[in-house]
Structure 1
Amino acid sequence: MASDVGVLTRRAPWTLARRLVGAVAATGPRRDRIVFVALALIALTFLLLVVGAPARVPTVTLAPLILLSGLYLTRRHLVGLYVVIGIGIATTIPRQAGTAMAKTLMVSAMVALMAMMVIVASSRVRVGSTGFHGENLFVELRDRIARSARLPALPAGWTAESAVRSANGEGFSGDFMVADRTHDGRHLEVALVDVSGKGREAGTRSLLLSGALGALLGSLPPCAFLDEANRYLVRQSWDEGFATAVHVDIDLDTGEFSIGNAGHPAPVRYSFGTGNWEILEGGRGPVLGIMEGVAFARTHGTLAMGDALMIYSDGIIESRGHDLSEGTDRMLGAASEAMVRRGDSVADAVVSSARSGEADDRAVFVIVRA
């Protein structure tokens, strides 16, 4: 019996610690109260040290605590803790060494830091996250969009590549792509979409649409893809919630393809026999999300051996102060050079040659029948 008690005694501290860690890691009012009490006790401890030994423990040592509490406390608890810290700072300042100017600057910096962290806590209320979980959430969303753009493995005789670049190097792009092998793997379907906005402001729209449009690939005939995508976007009732899109369906056995275009720049086709790119103007319809009940025509063709098909976003050819034809010629010139060299990446060459540079989102997809 004694041995049993001894085992329980040894395990109790670890069990208590685990419960405390679990309570802090959890969410809800109980967790908020526990974190608030813990940080308040730490703040009081620091303030006592500052009062007792002002020469060794300056008031500025409270700065890390102010930052930490701003990340993990709710706004209500945070304001309460900062009131306690503010009263403590006002009490200890007379005991601090230094000139009146130095003390004033230090107090001003601490107050500014607390005000900034209250603003940060207020912005987290909308996200509903604490600590660094909000940033982790955005990273996961960004990675999910990137995964949807991964190209599936293609049969022998086909090569494909893509590139998506966000404006100013931001983590989110208004351009995204979804791709999948459909019809028992005999077809490749690719949709390149450009939602309204740029960078982070278009990131949430890109996430929502990439999931929805990715689910549509292969679940309905290619001729109905843009029709259903338009109905979905109209139902969202977004302010300025339109998007342009181009959808490509390629038969990997025969090379036959069809293209539907919803207000997107026209795709281009490379002919191995002539060495030239041809702009495919047909099959263009209105942008997605504006009008309900719109039908989208499709352009049909066949890729022979050595031919290529390329779709791209408007960031590749558009820029302020330049004509669209100039941007198109610039894009086709870069693509032609990469096709001739064979070893170079056509997608990277086209993105790098974009007239808009880093100022706009850019995306391109190229498939070649070797």
Structure 2
Amino acid sequence: MRGAGMSLHLIGTVALVALVVLTGLGIEQIRAWVPSSFLLLILLVAAFLLGLAGTAVVCLVIVLELAYLQLVVGAELDPGVLIVHGLALVAVLLFVRSRERLGLSGAAGGIMLVDLRDRLEAHGRIPPLPAGWRVDSALRSAYAEAFSGDFVVAARADGGRLLEIGLVDVSGKGQAAGVRSLLLSGAFGGLLGAMPSEQFLASANAYLIGQDWDEGFATAVHVAVDLRSGEYWVATAGHPPAVHLHAGSGIFEVVDTVGGPVLGVVDDPTFTMHNGVMLPGDALMLYTDGMVETPGSDLELGIDRLIGVAERVVATRRGGAEAVLAGVKAGESDDRALVLIYRD
């Protein structure tokens, strides 16, 4: 299969090089019908179909073609045209190089990213729940990019009696954080439900330290809910605290967890779990710091603002996670995620 892929790249490179040569002949003979901008179209095709080596070959041939037309044929291309071609060559090479560093090559790379993004979303799907329980979630990436550094993992454990949900915020934002999210969501999704809930954050921390990334830390909140009794256990790792809506009193309680350190920084940290009970009508709210943090403002003020929106939306049952996210009106410069666990 690898040999076949290399053969296709070789065929594509040879075909595009031949097209560059034919374009040069066209510019030389019938310039009115074959403009030099046609070379830019060939360059875009090369960036889409070829890897770095093939694209570099096509770029080199284009440079030689332009030099031949200008110096030998005397086509007298405008300086602005030559500058645009030069900038396009550099931009395409940098783009293909960055894509290949991620292990993505040619058109298949884009398909792979789409597949990985779909897998990330699949890890966050909530498993079917018994009557009386439901979960609602919303996620927005910074600047509406395709990938987010925030992700959700969920599983049923202990014979289906226990619902476990982890909300994770990977350091950074955009595509760089999204790539790490793709890796961590698979690993954390495998850990979730496969071990006692009190060991989840410690195991996630050990896994992240083992990756030895330059920028490899993450914050997380993990909750386990007994779907029979309503009892829950929640622990955080450098993450904003969960919020418990008590339907009977209408009070929003900030769950007072003794937060552990962020994941991926300290060996063998301690994560303390808080215990509580969800009664019928209650809700538990998990969120990432993008929902409550604004530059120059206190984190507690952001949490108060989020609770104020939840009082108008969740407590009155006028909407769910999407409505809360929209109501907070947090900035677009950070990833944002919100999870609501309801006991009806």
Q: Same fold (TM over 0.5)?
A: yes
The answer to whether the aligner puts 1:89 opposite 2:51 as a matched pair is: no
Listed as ranges, the matches of 1:288-307 within 5 Å are 288-307=263-282
Partner residue, 2:38: 61
* Partner secondary structure for residue 278 of structure 1: strand
Partner residue, 2:178: 203
Partner residue, 2:155: 180
Partner residue, 2:341: 367
1 CA distance for matches of 2:64 and 2:207? 55
1 CA distance for matches of 2:270 and 2:232? 19
Q: 1:41 corresponds to which letter in structure 2? A: A
For residue 337 of structure 1, the aligned residue among 312, 320, 326 is: 312
Partner residue, 2:290: 315
Would the alpha carbon gap of residues 44 and 248 (structure 1) be closer, same or farther in structure 2, given more than 3 Å must change?
same
* Partner secondary structure for residue 219 of structure 2: strand
Unaligned 5+ segments in structure 1 are 1-21
The answer to whether the aligner puts 1:40 opposite 2:17 as a matched pair is: yes
Unaligned 5+ segments in structure 2 are none
CA shift digits 1:120-159 (9 cap, x unpaired)? 3333432343333222222222222111111122211112
Q: 1:321 corresponds to which letter in structure 2? A: G
Would the alpha carbon gap of residues 86 and 303 (structure 1) be closer, same or farther in structure 2, given more than 3 Å must change?
closer
Listed as ranges, the matches of 1:1-370 within 5 Å are 26-28=4-6, 30-93=7-70, 96=75, 103-345=78-320, 347-354=321-328, 356-370=330-344
Cα RMSD after superposing both structures? 2.4
CA contact (8 A) 1:175 1:194 kept: yes
CA shift digits 1:184-234 (9 cap, x unpaired)? 222211011112222222112212221111111211111111121122122
CA contact (8 A) 2:164 2:225 kept: yes
1 CA distance for matches of 2:314 and 2:62? 66
1 CA distance for matches of 2:122 and 2:206? 25
Identity %: 41
Would the alpha carbon gap of residues 108 and 355 (structure 1) be closer, same or farther in structure 2, given more than 3 Å must change?
closer
Q: Using the TM superposition, give the Cα deviation of residue 76 of structure 1 relative to its aligned residue in structure 2, in angstroms.
A: 4.2
Partner residue, 1:6: none
Q: Using the TM superposition, give the Cα deviation of residue 319 of structure 1 relative to its aligned residue in structure 2, in angstroms.
A: 0.9
Would the alpha carbon gap of residues 59 and 282 (structure 1) be closer, same or farther in structure 2, given more than 3 Å must change?
closer
Aligned pair count reads 342
Higher helix share: 1
* Partner secondary structure for residue 210 of structure 2: helix
Moved more, 192-201 or 248-257: 192-201
Q: Using the TM superposition, give the Cα deviation of residue 278 of structure 1 relative to its aligned residue in structure 2, in angstroms.
A: 0.8
Q: 2:326 corresponds to which letter in structure 1? A: S
Q: 1:349 corresponds to which letter in structure 2? A: A
Q: 2:341 corresponds to which letter in structure 1? A: I
Q: Using the TM superposition, give the Cα deviation of residue 91 of structure 1 relative to its aligned residue in structure 2, in angstroms.
A: 4.1
2 CA distance for matches of 1:221 and 1:360? 32
CA contact (8 A) 2:104 2:110 kept: no
2 CA distance for matches of 1:75 and 1:159? 48
Q: Using the TM superposition, give the Cα deviation of residue 61 of structure 1 relative to its aligned residue in structure 2, in angstroms.
A: 2.8
Q: 2:92 corresponds to which letter in structure 1? A: M
Q: Using the TM superposition, give the Cα deviation of residue 315 of structure 1 relative to its aligned residue in structure 2, in angstroms.
A: 1.6
CA contact (8 A) 1:259 1:283 kept: no
Would the alpha carbon gap of residues 295 and 71 (structure 1) be closer, same or farther in structure 2, given more than 3 Å must change?
same
Moved over 6 A (4+): none
Partner residue, 1:13: none
2 CA distance for matches of 1:55 and 1:78? 27
User: Which structure has the greater CA radius of gyration?
Assistant: 1
CA shift digits 1:254-284 (9 cap, x unpaired)? 1111112222111111111111111111343
